[in-house]
Amino acid sequence: MRRFFARFVAFLKDTRAQASIEYILIAGAVIVAAIIFIPIYRELARETGERANESVVLAGEVTQKGVNREIANL
């Protein structure tokens, strides 16, 4: 039992793999953040695209009305 405890304490004191573990944790956090934020970003992009499309359609209608008015005044 004493040998196991000594090895366990030595394992806890060993810092050689500490940087690797930190990089793995950072990579894991980035992956989790991507899984959370990609669907949110996708929805926002879709809504923005719909609004832009509506604006283009509205601008076309306004322009067409103006052109028709000018033609009628000729």
Average pLDDT, consecutive stretches of 10 residues, N- to C-terminus, the chain (74 residues): 84 74 90 94 94 92 88 84
In this prediction, residue 7 carries a pLDDT of 86
If one counts the domains in the chain, the total is 1
Q: Domain span at residue 15? A: 2-73
33's CB contacts (< 8 A; 6+ apart) are none
pLDDT of residue 37: 94
- pTM for the model stands at 0.49
Tell me which amino acid residue 5 is.
Answer: F
